[in-house]
Amino acid sequence: MKRMSRVLMVSAVSVALTASGTTAVVAKTAGKSRATAVAPVAADLSRGQLVSATPLRTLDAEEVAAELAGDEDGAWDTGAVRYGLDTFRIVYRTVDPHGRPTTASGLLALPRSGERRLRTVSFTHGTELSKDNVASVSYGVWDQAPALTYASAGFATVLPDYLGLGLGSGPHPWMDVPSETTAALDMLRASRAAATAQGRDLRPEVLVTGFSQGASAALGLARSLQEGADGWFRLRAVAPISGAYAFRDAELPALLAGQTEPKASVIYTALTLVAFNRLHHLYDTPAQVFRAPYDHAVEGLLDGTHTGREVAAGTPDSIDALLTPRGRAMLAHPGGRLAAALRIADGVCTDWTPRVPIRLYYADGDEQAVTANTARCHAALRTRGVHAPPIDLGTPDYGGSRHLGSQQAGTAAVVRWFHGLR
């Protein structure tokens, strides 16, 4: 889940990879430019293998602070800024939702702190409708801010784009926690190799956070790390922000009842049906679940090549105008394949017992990810004997949205909490 109520202007950056994985680019920095060749890598299909690491930007601490403070939709907290940083676009090998080899991309940010061994933060982002609205290809402050905040505070910061976003091929499997988990885990592995090439070491302990859609992804990655999915990395702490952790029992009912921002409700509802249908075959034709004329357009609008503005313009202003009776019933009373998929998504709070410090950050009156999600996650973890305090961020505002504001306020709170953990 993330931003439906606003659309950011995105500066897309493209990279052409040769068959060997070698590329030469000119990376624009703040007032600087440099040409850098990336060494080729072996052509095997190992998960987490680094395909390329393309230098993007070098910023000093003052430039980081200026960029964060200069966001026209609301200044980001700069109190944790200590160092400059370098960012890299990472392309790496991973698997798709069916376990087949593919590649994905993401952003790695390394602090210019002088430390060789770095503590690592993994940040998983919220819903993006366009492939270009991710940190590895967008220089928009919203997309870059988590990397700038954590890296300038001294952490190696890893931001996976997920499958199908950034330089990834095909449609993005939205809210598919298993593929979000493998993409995030393999991004950590590739980032370790990229950091080593820069003379830096990523320490084994990973501090995991994420926002909205990425809050569920963060919990999925945390569970995977705790269960020993990697031989090097292990979980240190987890701090999700404003997630839809109870998608079936809290978020979907709120969407259908009109308790969330209207356009956000329409787009999230459409995303649920389209994205889950791609993986789980919920309907045979769009006309079964979407009313005309949207049945002819909505799947194409949600293919990752359209901007948020285009998606908003191409969808109605109410769920009743979007869904057929069958489509609404499918979401109101999930059964079969949809129910099974939702159990997996909601399992991030119900199917494991965290053994590390965990906090659940949320905003009062969140107009997109209703706070009942956090309450249900807290209750589910409590029944397993886990102390996971809900952290109330109040009513933060970013561009008129409390949901977006919770990422901004949550990032400032989480970086300070992570600093205090040793």
The pLDDT-based confidence of 45 (bands split at 50, 70, 90) is low
Give dist(CA 368, CA 255) in Å, integer: 9
Tokens describing residue 392? 């109330």
For the chain, the average pLDDT equals 90
DSSP state at residue 30: T
pTM, entire model:
0.90
pLDDT of 44 above 70: no
Torsion on CA atoms 174, 10, 307, 106, rounded to nearest 10: -20
Mean per-residue pLDDT, 83-87: 98
Identify the pLDDT of residue 272: 98
Residues 6+ apart with CB under 8 A from 234: 204, 205, 206, 225, 226, 228
Torsion on CA atoms 127, 132, 136, 140, rounded to nearest 10: -80
- pLDDT-above-70 percentage for the chain: 89
The DSSP annotation for 48-113 comes to T-EEEEEEEEEE-HHHHHHHHHT-TT-PPP-TT----EEEEEEEEEEE-TTS-EEEEEEEEEEE-S
In CATH, 29-246+345-420 is 3.40.1280.10: no
pLDDT of 210 above 70: yes
Strand partners, 53: 90
pLDDT of 150 above 80: yes
Quick: pLDDT tens for 360-387: 999 999 999 999 999 999 999 999 999 9
Determine the 3-state secondary structure of 124 from DSSP: strand
Quick: pLDDT tens for 67-78: 999 999 999 999
Tokens describing residue 166? 């950034």
Strand partners, 95: 101
Identify the pLDDT of residue 414: 98
Mean per-residue pLDDT, 77-106: 97
Low-confidence winner among 36-40, 43-47, 204-208, 245-249 (lowest mean pLDDT): 36-40
- Which phi and psi angles does 392 have, rounded to 5°? -80, 115
The pLDDT-based confidence of 19 (bands split at 50, 70, 90) is very low
pLDDT of 16 above 60: no
Give dist(CA 19, CA 42) in Å, integer: 11
| Rounded alpha-carbon distances, angstroms, from residue 192 to 86, 118, 123, 332 | 15, 10, 15, 43
Quick: pLDDT tens for 238-277: 999 999 999 999 999 999 999 999 999 999 999 999 999 9
pLDDT of 29 above 90: no
The full set of domain ranges for the chain reads 29-246+345-420
Mean per-residue pLDDT, 118-139: 97
Instruction: Report the residue count for the chain.
Output: 422
Of residues 30 and 240, which shows the higher confidence score? Answer: 240
Low-confidence winner among 8-12, 325-329, 391-395, 396-400 (lowest mean pLDDT): 8-12
Give dist(CA 300, CA 13) in Å, integer: 23
Tokens describing residue 317? 């202003």
Quick: pLDDT tens for 215-224: 999 999 999 9
Identify the pLDDT of residue 422: 80
Give dist(CA 22, CA 417) in Å, integer: 39
Mean per-residue pLDDT, 301-309: 95
Quick: pLDDT tens for 401-411: 999 999 999 99
